[in-house]
Amino acid sequence: MLTFIVRRLLWTVLVMFVITVVVFIIFFKTPGVDPARAIAGRNPNAQTLAEIRAQFGLDKPLPVQYALMMKSLFISRDLVSYSNQGLKVVPEIAHATPATLSLVFGAALLWVVMAIAVGIAAALLRGTIFDPLLMVVALVGVSAPVFWVGQIANMVSQGILHDTFLFSWVPPLGYTPFTQDPLLWFKGLVIPWITLSILYIGFYGRVLRANLLEVQNEDYVRTARAKGISERRVLLRHNLRTSMITFVSLFGLDFGALVAGGALLTEVVFGIHGVGYLAYQGFINLDLPTIMATVVYGAFFIVLANALVDIAYAWLDPRVRPT
Amino acid sequence: MATLLEQVEVDTELRPAVAGRNPWALAARRLWRNRIAMAALGVFLLIVVLCLAAPWYAHNVAHVNPFPPDLNGHTVVNGKVVPVMQQGGGTLHLGETPIGPTWDLSHYFLGADSTGRDVAALLLYGGRSSLLIGIGAAVLCSLAATVVALIAGFFGGTTDALASRLMDVIWAFPVYLLAISISTELLTHSSGFQFGPLHVSAASLWVPTIIIAFIYVPYVYRPIRGQVLSVVNKEFVEAAIAQGSGNLRLLFSEILPNVVSTVIVLLPLMIATTILTESALSFLSIGVQPPNVSWGTIIQDGTDLVYTRPWVTIAPGLMILFTVLSLNVFGDGVRDALDPRAKLRVEG
């Protein structure tokens, strides 16, 4: 087990290294783009350009340039946003993280509970009209663009029906930190949580239903039936456990991706100033340092999350360890 | 149960010659019989035809050019001539509000956007970009993934390890953040780029197409590589080697035909995914650039009008929803017809 963990972590470090190299190539070596001019944002003056050239050693050999980029990202963490009056970028990301975590945790809770309910209901109701009906609804959820669902939700809750009892409790768009006002934090996040989870409820519900039906003819399920356990109990206690394996591993990947900026569309639509929103603002202001930092930190988070999922997996299920 | 058995008996009586057909014909027939999948294909083709008819609709029915802003235009509603941009509309009765839906196909059917352009005509033109990018990116991505997967699976060893690790690295990037990085780099360079002999302007539809194709290569690569690995040591490949076939011949005549079905199963689902991604990128204004429009850019334009002229937002979203839904349903049908046991991942 220890060798597995060590190997997995070494591999993680290697992937992180390659990621930084890819980022370096995108931001400093895109053919035909002057990196200093790109980093400096709109209408740079000659002094700023000279500063950037010196800071990133753009006249020095490639390995030095790479090392300087890494230094400003991870060691001195003094990467500066030129479009944003010299604001330091890395602390900005740390500052934006709680909003993203609030959004993703709530949505994840909602989608896990709802997806399990949908998957089990569809499997239990197989052969009735409700199973295909549930699956069609789930597929609609998978096919709707999340930012559009968010816009429609805003249209209804902030506009058309805002003055009725249904949505009069919805606060204006934006994020209130939990420490500042827990109730407002909750109220402001309810609709974003629902919006973000719709896609995943549909997708996970379909996956769970498929898995539940797939293991239906396994030997241990037949044994359970032969023991005289009721059909419902077989489904919940025997089928569901194995079916959850796929569910859990998918969940680890999606959750990691969302925390690392994947919830960007929801954050933009609802004005939640999280990590994805930060990257989007970086794009709007042509603020390359911000984008660079969010991409690197986001990718690192995903790689780490994946490694943790794998290790947890190996710990739970010895069969996967040798790989 | 009884009905199922009857069905089987009727089938064998009517078609005793089924056993001799090739697997593609069998799959095509299974697909043809799947009424829901065929209906979904019908919906998708209808949307494609409607979008292809965009210039015809704009010139002959709506009589507008939907691309230049038209702040001083006039149109006819209930026989009266009214301005397209109306003074004092909206809840606050301030400023100019574009005309709302008239539900009259020849006069601003869905109303106008914030610069007085005909939304219905834009919607069809936007669909052309969305479909073109979606289909183009899915095809490019599948081609690239298939080539890499064939090479990785066939040569194995270090080649396979390198290719697979590279795919892992690309997949580790947050999709939208990677797209933002690449687009920012490319878009800061407004005069376009020179890739060898090719010149691509920054507003070209190729830019989002290639970005989207690139970010999904690892996603398509994995199942195809798995399929290559599962056939590469089969007897028919050994037989071909014994007959003296070279690597190229082995790859293209022996292995490729056996992984094509995996690619075909993935394709409609990939188009659904790439269309969703295109709309998201265009909504964030890192996808399709003006003067081109796509469903995503129309929804973005509709953001400021969402409380006064909701149809600018609702209509393109419904188009995306119907397109992606029809592709997902059709894709499920293709999968059931070709490979009933496959489990695939559809992502938004």
Interface size, chain A vs chain B, as Cβ–Cβ contacts under 8 Å = 166
Q: How confident is the model at residue A106 (pLDDT cuts 50, 70, 90)?
A: very high
**Mean predicted lDDT score pLDDT of chain A:** 83
Residues of chain B positioned with their CB less than 8 A from the CB of A18? 165-166, 169
Angle, CA of A164, A165 and A168, to the nearest 5°: 75
Angle between helices A240-257 and A89-124 (to 10 degrees): 160
Extract the tokens encoding A35. 């990196």
CB atoms B173 and A144 under 8 Å: no
User: Across the interface, which of A152, A160, A295 has its CB nearest the CB of B177?
Assistant: A295
Query: How far apart (Å, rounded) are the C-alpha atoms in residues A237 and A219?
Result: 15
Pairing of strands B198-200, B193-195: antiparallel
Interface of A with B in 22-41 (CB under 8 A): 22-23, 26-27, 30-33, 37-38
**Number of other CB atoms surrounding residue A15 within 10 Å:** 21
Q: Using the beta-carbon criterion (under 8 Å), do A303 and B172 form an inter-chain contact?
A: yes
Mean pLDDT per 10-residue section of chain B, whose length is 348 residues: 49 53 80 87 93 82 73 69 64 63 72 77 89 94 94 88 86 82 71 62 81 89 88 87 87 87 89 92 86 89 81 90 93 80 40
CB contact set of A228 (below 8 Å; sequence gap of 6+): none
Q: Does A142 touch chain B (CB under 8 A)?
A: yes
Q: Which stretches of A71-226 are DSSP H helices? A: 89-124, 130-143, 146-154, 182-214, 219-226
Instruction: Please say whether the beta carbons of B140 and B213 come within 8 A.
Output: yes
Report which of B319, B266, B287, B299 is spatially closest to residue B212, judged by C-alpha positions.
B287
Q: What is the interface pTM, i.e. ipTM, of the complex?
A: 0.84
pLDDT at site B132: 93
* Residue range A24-45: mean pLDDT, rounded: 75
Instruction: Give the distance from residue A265's alpha carbon to the nearest chain B alpha carbon, in angstroms.
Output: 7
Q: Which residue has the higher pLDDT, A109 or B70?
A: A109
Rounded Cα distance between B335 and B344, Å, is 9
- Model pLDDT, residue A253: 80
Inform me whether the C-beta atom of residue A153 falls under 8 Å from chain B C-beta atoms: no
Distance of CA B241 to the CA centre of its chain: 39
Hey, is the C-beta of B348 within 8 angstroms of any chain A C-beta? yes
Instruction: Confirm if B209 and B133 have CB atoms less than 8 A apart.
Output: yes
Structure confidence at residue B141 (pLDDT):
95
Give the nearest chain A residue to B175 (CA atoms): A262
Mean pLDDT within A84-110? 87
pTM of the model: 0.84
- Tell me what pLDDT residue A133 has: 86
Residue B310 C-alpha, separation from nearest chain A C-alpha, in angstroms: 8
Give dist(CA B309, CA B294) in Å, integer: 18
* Three-class SS state of B74: strand
Nearest to B174 among A145, A152, A262 (CB): A262
Alpha-carbon torsion, ordered A132, A136, A137, A143, to 10 deg: 160
Q: Are A150 and A265 contacting, i.e. CB atoms less than 8 angstroms apart?
A: yes
Angle at B36 (CA atoms; ends B34, B39), nearest 5 degrees: 110
- Residues contacting A311, CB < 8 A, separation 6+: A4, A5, A8
Whether residue B223 contacts residue B262, with contact meaning beta carbons closer than 8 Å, is answered with yes
Average pLDDT, integer, range A116-128: 87
- Cβ pair A257:B302 closer than 8 A: no
Looking at residue B66, its pLDDT comes to: 74
Chain A (238-297) residues lying within 8 Å, Cβ to Cβ, of chain B: 250, 257, 260-262, 264-265, 268, 276, 279-280, 282-284, 286, 288, 291-292, 294-295
What is the full DSSP assignment across B222-247?
Answer: HHHHHHHHHHHTSHHHHHHHHTT--H
Helix, strand or coil for residue A241?
helix
pLDDT at res. A161: 78
The HSE-up count of residue A210 (CA atoms within 13 Å, CB side) is: 19
What is the C-alpha separation between A255 and A284, in angstroms, rounded? Answer: 26
Query: pLDDT tens digits, residue range A133-152?
Result: 888 888 898 899 999 999 99
Q: Is residue A133 less than 8 Å (CB to CB) from chain B?
A: no
Q: Virtual CA dihedral for B273, B277, B279, B282, nearest 10 degrees? A: -160
Residue B173 contacts A where some CB pair is shorter than 8 Å: yes
Q: How far apart are the first and last CA of chain A?
A: 12
Task: Return the pLDDT at B320.
Answer: 94
Which of B189, B303, B307 has the CB atom closest to A159's CB atom?
Answer: B307
Residue B291 CB coordination number (10 Å) = 8
Residue A171 DSSP label: P
- Rounded CA Rg of chain A: 24
* Structure confidence at residue B187 (pLDDT): 67
Chain A residue whose CA is closest to B168: A15
Question: What are the pLDDT digits (tens) for A160-205?
Answer: 777 777 777 778 888 888 888 888 888 889 999 999 999 899 999 9
Per-residue pLDDT for A60 more than 90?
A: no
Three-state helix/strand/coil letters over A43-85? CCCHHHHHHHHHHCCCCCCHHHHHHHHHHHHHHCCCCEEHHHC
Query: Chain B residue with minimal CA distance to A17?
Result: B169
Tell me how far apart the terminal alpha carbons of chain B are, to the nearest angstrom.
37
Strands B85-87 and B96-98: what pairing? Answer: antiparallel
Q: What φ, ψ does residue B203 adopt, rounded to 5°?
A: -90, 0
Which residue of chain B comes nearest to A281, CA vs CA? B284
**B165 vs A279, B168, B171, CA distance in Å?**
26, 5, 10
Cα torsion A292, A295, A297, A299 to 10°: value is: -150
Binning pLDDT at 50, 70 and 90, where does residue A267 land? very high
Residue in B283, B328, B347 nearest the CB of A147: B283
pLDDT of residue B227: 87
Nearest CA in chain A to B322: A143
pLDDT at A80: 75
Q: How far apart are CA B213 and CA B171, in angstroms?
A: 13
**Beta bridge mates, B98:** B85
Cβ separation A33–B184 shorter than 8 A: no
Residue to substitute from B166, B168, B181, B183, interface A, most A β-carbons within 10 A: B181
State the DSSP H helix or E strand holding residue B77, giving kind and residue range, or none if neither. strand B74-77
- Higher pLDDT: A84 or A259? It is A259
Q: Judge: A143–B310 Cβ closer than 8 Å, yes or no.
A: no
What is the structure's pLDDT at B338? Answer: 81
User: Do residue A148 and residue B174 have CB atoms under 8 angstroms apart?
Assistant: no
